Amino acid sequence: MLSPFQTYEDAYENFQWEFPQSYNMGWDVCDKWADDEPERTAVIDLTGEGRQDVSFAELKAKSNQLANLLVSLDIKKGDRVGVFRSQSVWTAASHIAVWKMAGISMPLFKLFGEEALLSRVNDSGARAIFTDVDGALVLEALRDKLPKLEHIIVPELLSENAQPSEFEISQTSAKTPGLLIYTSGTTGAPKGALHAHRVLRGHLPGIEMSHNLLPRKDDVLWTPADWAWIGGLMNVLMPALHHRGPIVASRVDKFGSQMCREIIELGDVKNIFFPPTALRLLKAEGFTISGLRTVACGGEPLGEEMQRWGKQALGLTINEFYGQTECNMVLSSCEKWFAPKQGAIGKPVPGHQVEVIDDQGNPTHEEGDIAVKRGSASMMLEYWNNQKATKEKFRGDWLLTGDRGIREGEFIRFIGRDDDVISSSGYRIGPAEIEDCLLKHEAVASVGVIGKPDVTRTEIVKAYVVLRSGNEPSEALLAALQQHVKTKLAAYEYPREIEFVDHLPMTVTGKIIRKELKARAIRELERV
């Protein structure tokens, strides 16, 4: 979508959203290529033994058979259909099938426990779920608690000729609901963000920026992030297929540098979306590689130390981007167009008006709320069955991300989630900067920083630190880490308390759950 533009300024000033009267994501990512280049590789499947290249013609046939099956089961336009699977060709085909017959697909993470599954499936009213053999066993065990669920479908077990491989795509528009994806619940109960078919193209400008103007010849995308989350599904899988593929499908039971290297080499990977946690783990394991064209990273700020490592170990500048389930890919760096600014996420992506606003909804150059103006094609239609939360998400025409930031010219600097910002002795402190600073110390593998309630200072900075292998907790190391922050940042930002831990609480998308760390600190106070 950005290919006609030569500079960021040109793209941002002149880009406009354009959608045909009839538009369907299933056609966009599959049939348009299957009809034009049927033998072209859509998916490089590494989920079995070795490598299997799946063509667009095969993907079309699989998705058509599943779409015909749904229609035969009386699944209708607007019905919700879950996709309870990890990365695979059938996962892609399941979403595409739902969109083709004008249903609403709902990704479900395979590692969800009972409570997480029940809340999402029951809240959505899903009538059918595509899954694998293991997933079917999980769902069958919960069947009595899922009153609206009628069909559990395992595509691999269907007869090859059970349904026709031709299907006439249902009439949909860019505004027709097509995707229901639940938030990870880091700031309260998970909410279902309902998106229209336009959401795919709404992601494309940001995806293209974060991968230095994707697509280029020989580009092959992969991510270890699960396709059940918007970062895997709409940041990688579907944009890759939109751009003629291929996308690498792999199952990551335990992420590590050796596994990562094998996937990159076997899949000829050139472009990767890494969550920050994955990059930090690779850094801790001493990972290096050459031959990648782009690495994009989003979810939380990466920090100066990780950027330095990226240039050294990966041989490139990591492009950071920003967004959320409700409105994704709205800020991005693009090393091809402009140099990154240290500490800033990036610039507003063409097609998205992003500002830092004050309490009255006016843009400000002071600290404020990062917000996106209505009109963004990646913005949700509403929260499913939750008008109150939908209303609270907006301040006038601005969708509130829940994050605080500062506008610095064309760039926006991320400070932290509204409830993560630390107020200490009159200073407002973002935890990300302190975490980045501590990560520069050779003994630190990962770290989470929170504000711990304090009678004198309102809050004090507390750090929970996971040490690299070969380092042991000690008073001397604690003091050295405190001095490290005092020297590198400012005296008021140093962690007055440091607790060494074996691991940090993480969301399934790799974000530190700071509210759990804060709750832990409060429990400690209550015991005193």
DSSP 458-507: EEEEEEEEEEPTT----HHHHHHHHHHHHHHS-GGGS-SEEEE-S---B-
> CB–CB of 377/199 below 8 Å?
yes
Residue numbers in the chain where pLDDT is lower than 70: 184-188, 426, 508-509, 528
- Those residues whose C-beta lies under 8 Å from the C-beta of residue 146, and which sit 6 or more positions away, are 118, 121, 122, 139
d(CA 62, CA 315): 39
Amino acid letter, residue 380: M
- What pLDDT does 185 receive? 57
Consecutive H or E run containing 290: none
Q: Which residues pair with 347 in a beta bridge?
A: 332
* Nearest CA-CA partner of 51 in 268, 221, 219, 255: 268
294 sits in the region (left: phi over 0; alpha: psi -120 to 50; else beta) called: beta
- What pLDDT does 128 receive? 98
| Phi, psi (deg, nearest 5) at residue 225 | -65, 140
> CB–CB of 191/386 below 8 Å?
yes
Residue 255's CB is within 10 A of a number of other CB atoms, namely: 15
- Those residues whose C-beta lies under 8 Å from the C-beta of residue 174, and which sit 6 or more positions away, are 19, 20, 23, 196, 197, 198, 201, 377
d(CA 497, CA 451): 10
Q: Which residues pair with 449 in a beta bridge?
A: 463
Please identify which residue in the block is written with the tokens 């890919």: 329
d(CA 352, CA 372): 7
SS (H, E, C) 36-89: HCCCCEEEEECCCCCCEEEEHHHHHHHHHHHHHHHHHCCCCCCCEEEEECCCCH
| Phi, psi (deg, nearest 5) at residue 43 | -130, 130
| Phi, psi (deg, nearest 5) at residue 103 | -85, -175
- Those residues whose C-beta lies under 8 Å from the C-beta of residue 188, and which sit 6 or more positions away, are none
- Those residues whose C-beta lies under 8 Å from the C-beta of residue 84, and which sit 6 or more positions away, are 108, 110, 117, 129, 130, 131, 132, 135, 138, 139
Domains of the chain and any CATH numbers: 8-14+24-412 (3.40.50.12780), 419-527 (3.30.300.30)
d(CA 328, CA 198): 12
Consecutive H or E run containing 150: none
> CB–CB of 37/244 below 8 Å?
yes
